[in-house]
Amino acid sequence: MDQIDVKLFGAPRVLCNGRNIVFPFKKAEALFYYLVVNKQATRDELVSLLWDEIDEETAKKI
């Protein structure tokens, strides 16, 4: 089984079996860390946090 380590002190990073994980998008990385810290979130909460520039109709599709 793979081991995932999340380091939040200093520069945040994620390791899988000791290898650094690079996220393809900054918002994906932000979402990952947010959920690690908060454990859960509503869709509305995430949309307002990460995609506040989009309209409500588009937000419903995320």
pLDDT at 62: 73
Q: What is the pLDDT of residues 2-61, one digit of tens each?
A: 999 999 999 999 999 999 999 999 999 999 999 999 999 998 899 899 988 888 788 777
CA 54 to chain CA centroid, nearest Å:
18
DSSP the chain: ---EEEE-SSS-EEEETTEEP--SSHHHHHHHHHHHHHS---HHHHHHHH-TTS-HHHHTT-
The residue extents of the domains of the chain are: 4-59
User: Which pTM does this prediction carry?
Assistant: 0.81
User: CA-to-CA distance for 55 and 14, rounded, in angstroms?
Assistant: 32
CA Rg value for the chain? 14
